[in-house]
DNA sequence: TCACATTTTGACAATCATTTTCGTTTTCGC
DNA sequence: GCGAAAACGAAAATGATTGTCAAAATGTGA
């Protein structure tokens, strides 16, 4: 609906990597948009709530977002230099996580898994 | 060396779960210590730098720490209610992560993996 | 034990990402 | 076109974490 939210989604889609709210805000302003920082945060919140973008936290706690090709469960192989990411899947890991949970009496098991490295271009 | 750092390590060791710096500060003060918040942060920084405690980020970006039994690479099964954690290992996952990285031309591959659920006691 | 250098500490201020607040502007249904 | 509801944005508020700096603790050699 909202043009603003679309602008944020668009900006995110143009990148293959994870971007922070501040990054996106800077990009949009640089492109001439009059968007406010608050709106960027609101858009990202909405987009992640609806599962349209993936979120993860950098080591220093900053939230970074990515518009992924698929909305189904997957993980990422992220370049620690340029933050470019590749979507990856690991069926075996999914099973392992659930098994581990069951083994220790945990219910409602979920997991977070991200793989980091330096991509070919950045090496 | 430092009594203060030991106090922080001690406070952390008394818990099986992950605790935030603010939590530990509150605990220590409640126990009558005159320790300052800055010192708690410094102690945790030093302890994590030396690999004596594990750190992870909550969904809202807060850093939480845990004194683990082993300093070797491992993951955690964390209760999302009481934050109690169990150390777990997954050799297959380690291999999978490296393979995935190699497959896409990434070097220096590392990964983060945490499993969440509700522990038996909290169910 | 004493004088001095070094390290540790803690109160307080400063950062910085993120959230709230709140008045204004747009968008929509009718 | 008209009023309610949703979206905006600027500025203030939050809250965790870090930086500053002077005081206190500790170590060292004479």
Largest CA distance in chain B: 55
- Is residue A76's pLDDT more than 70? yes
> What is the pLDDT, as a whole number, of residue B1?
47
**pLDDT of A97 strictly over 80:** yes
Distance of alpha carbon A115 from alpha carbon A112, whole angstroms: 10
Q: What angle do CA B92, A83, B51 make, to 5 degrees?
A: 55
| Burial environment of residue B69 by CB neighbours within 10 A (0 to 12, 13 to 18, 19 or more) | exposed
Stated pTM of the model: 0.93
Average pLDDT, chain B: 96
- Residue A42 three-state SS: helix
Residue B24's pLDDT is 98
- Chain A residue nearest residue B62, CA to CA: A61
Q: Which residue of chain B comes nearest to A62, CA vs CA?
A: B61
Chain A span 3-32 residues with beta carbon within 7 Å of strand C: 3, 20-22
pLDDT tier at A122 (50, 70, 90 boundaries)? very high
Q: Chain A residues with CB inside 8 Å of B112's CB? A: 112-114, 116
Q: In terms of Cα–Cα distance, which of B79, B18, B58 is closest to A107?
A: B79
Q: What is the pLDDT of residues A8-54, one digit of tens each?
A: 999 999 999 999 999 999 999 999 999 999 999 999 999 999 999 99
The residues that bridge with B116 in the sheet, in sequence order, are A110, B78
Alpha helices in B1-123 (DSSP H): 3-13, 21-30, 37-49, 91-103
**Chain B residues in contact with A57 (beta carbon < 8 A):** 57, 61
Nearest to B108 by CA among A59, A115, A118: A118
Tokens describing residue A105: 């009496």
Long-range contact pairs involving A81-87 (C-beta distance under 8 Å, separation at least 24): A81/A118, A81/A119, A81/A122, A82/A17, A82/A119, A82/A121, A82/A122, A83/A17, A83/A18, A83/A19, A84/A16, A84/A17, A84/A119, A84/A121, A85/A16, A85/A17, A85/A18, A86/B104
- Separation in Å: D4 C1' and A39 CA: 22
Facing B114 at nearest CB: one of A63, A111, A119:
A111
Query: Position of tokens 């150390």?
Result: B87
Verify whether the Cβ–Cβ distance A117 to B96 is below 8 Å. no
Task: Report the alpha-carbon distance of residue B52 to residue B28 in Å, rounded.
Answer: 19
Question: Which tokens belong to A86?
Answer: 């590749």
* Measured distance CA(B103)–CA(A59) in Å, rounded: 25
pLDDT tens digits, residue range B27-57? 999 999 999 999 999 999 999 999 999 999 9
Closest by CA to B83, choosing from B61, B52, B60, B58, is B58
Quote the mean pLDDT of chain A.
Answer: 95
Identify the H or E element spanning A94. Answer: helix A91-103
Structural contact between residues B115 and A111, judged by C-beta atoms closer than 8 angstroms: yes
Residue A1 has pLDDT above 50, yes or no: no
pLDDT at B2 over 80: no
Angstrom distances, CA of residue A80 to CA of A110, B10, B51, B58, B97: 25, 34, 21, 21, 15
pLDDT tens string A47-70: 999 999 999 999 999 999 999 999
- The pLDDT, as a whole number, for residue A3 is 85
């Amino acid at each position: 609906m909202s043009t603003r939210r679309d602008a944020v989604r668009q900006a995110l889609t143009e990148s293959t990597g994870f971007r922070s709210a501040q990054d996106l805000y800077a990009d949009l302003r640089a492109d001439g948009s009059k968007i406010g920082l608050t709106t960027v945060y609101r858009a990202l919140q909405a987009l992640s709530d609806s599962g349209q973008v993936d979120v993860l936290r950098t080591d220093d706690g900053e939230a970074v977002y990515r518009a992924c090709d698929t909305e189904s469960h997957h993980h990422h192989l992220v370049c620690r230099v340029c933050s470019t990411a590749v979507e990856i899947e690991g069926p075996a890991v999914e099973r392992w996580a659930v098994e581990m949970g069951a083994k220790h009496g945990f219910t409602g098991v979920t997991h977070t898994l991200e793989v980091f490295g330096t991509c070919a271009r950045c090496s």
